[in-house]
């Protein structure tokens, strides 16, 4: 089945400093022909990383470049390997073109699952352009700076039994077990994440960084990749209608800003 979309695969704002913020799971668009095949629940795209553009609206002040997904992760997951390889072998995960929600319910109403040809079309139309833009921006920034930080921004419901027990820590930093960024930077970020008494932070816990962190992080070459997976309860309503909660966001936002400032300071001083 041919995949057709009338939406661009991403939005991009080019910055002036050695910081690139990637938001691969904020997209909500599902082309109408595909949406017609989804369950009523899936058409609400509940597993979106909601409102991250609003939360990170200070990025332009930092001079960061910002790369933002437009399509829902239900169309194709930009933070998965293009060959569909699992990020966490032996643990429950969703795939490159997911067929179930985080609650382990079917995405497709009548079992009309995408075949290899359709998945290839989605990959060509959306996944590949996003990653070409990400790669080209890293190359551009590296040509001007000795060190660059790639910040992969994510959020997730605080309770998801399919993936973890109990409540997730609020600020989950991932550096692929220390391989995707400098140990000094990781330590600085963790100290900030754990500095506020109202929030919890962890490094390389349940979420160690997805495909983007692992693929592009190369500290020896001056590219330091970090994933931040935030609990959505820190800044928004975790159930429909998924409202942004400004008062809640105001509590955690200083920690997020401080971490981004520290990442930028690290890149500029190296």
- pLDDT of amino acid 177: 97
pTM, two decimals, is 0.96
Q: Tell me the pLDDT of the chain (270 aa) as tens digits.
A: 568 899 999 999 999 999 999 999 999 999 999 999 999 999 999 999 999 999 999 999 999 999 999 999 999 999 999 987 777 677 767 889 999 999 999 999 987 899 999 999 999 999 999 999 999 999 999 999 999 999 999 999 999 999 999 999 999 999 999 999 999 999 999 999 999 889 999 999 999 999 999 999 999 999 999 999 999 999 999 999 999 999 999 999 999 999 999 999 999 996
Determine the 3-state secondary structure of 44 from DSSP: helix
- pLDDT of amino acid 86: 72
As a whole number of angstroms, the distance between CA 147 and CA 145 comes to 5
Burial class (CB in 10 A: 0-12, 13-18, 19+), 93: middle
The candidate with the shortest Cα–Cα distance to 211, out of 77, 118, 30, 41, is 77
The architecture of the domain spanning 10-269 is: 3-Layer(aba) Sandwich (3.40)
Buried b (16+ CB within 10 A) or exposed e, 210-227: bbbbbbbbbbeebbbbbb
- pLDDT of amino acid 270: 66
In what helix (H) or strand (E) does residue 21 lie, and over which residues does it extend?
strand 19-23
As a whole number of angstroms, the distance between CA 32 and CA 195 comes to 45
**Structure token pair of residue 12:** 């991009």
Domain boundaries, the chain: 10-269
- Give the Cα-Cα-Cα angle 77, 97, 159 (nearest 5 degrees): 65
Peptide bond preceding 37: is omega within 30 degrees of 0, i.e. cis? no
**Structure token pair of residue 15:** 């910055």
**Structure token pair of residue 132:** 């070409």
């Amino acid at each position: 089945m041919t995949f057709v979309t009338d939406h661009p695969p991403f939005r991009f704002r080019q910055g002036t400093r050695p910081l690139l913020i990637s938001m691969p799971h904020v997209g909500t668009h599902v082309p109408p022909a595909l949406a017609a095949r989804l369950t009523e629940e899936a058409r609400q795209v509940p597993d979106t990383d909601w409102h991250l553009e609003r939360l990170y609206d200070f990025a332009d002040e930092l001079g960061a470049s910002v790369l933002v997904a437009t399509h829902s992760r239900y169309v194709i997951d930009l933070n998965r390997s293009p060959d569909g390889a699992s990020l966490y072998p032996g643990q429950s995960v969703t795939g490159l073109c997911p067929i179930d929600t985080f609650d382990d319910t079917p995405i497709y109403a009548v079992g009309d699952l995408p075949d290899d040809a359709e998945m290839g079309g989605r990959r060509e139309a959306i996944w590949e352009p996003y990653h070409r833009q990400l790669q080209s921006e890293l190359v551009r920034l590296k040509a001007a700076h000795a060190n660059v930080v790639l910040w992969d921004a994510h959020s997730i419901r605080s309770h998801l039994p399919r993936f973890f027990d109990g409540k997730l820590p609020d600020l989950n930093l991932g550096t692929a077990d220390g391989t995707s960024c400098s140990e000094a930077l990781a330590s600085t970020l963790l100290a900030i994440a754990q500095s506020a008494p109202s929030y919890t932070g962890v490094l390389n816990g349940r979420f160690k960084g997805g495909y983007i962190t692992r693929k592009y992080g190369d500290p020896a070459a001056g590219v330091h990749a970090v994933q931040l997976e935030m609990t959505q309860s820190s800044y928004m309503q975790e159930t429909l209608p998924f409202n942004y909660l400004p008062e809640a966001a105001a509590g955690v936002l200083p920690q997020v800003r401080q971490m981004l400032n520290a990442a930028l300071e690290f890149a500029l001083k190296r």
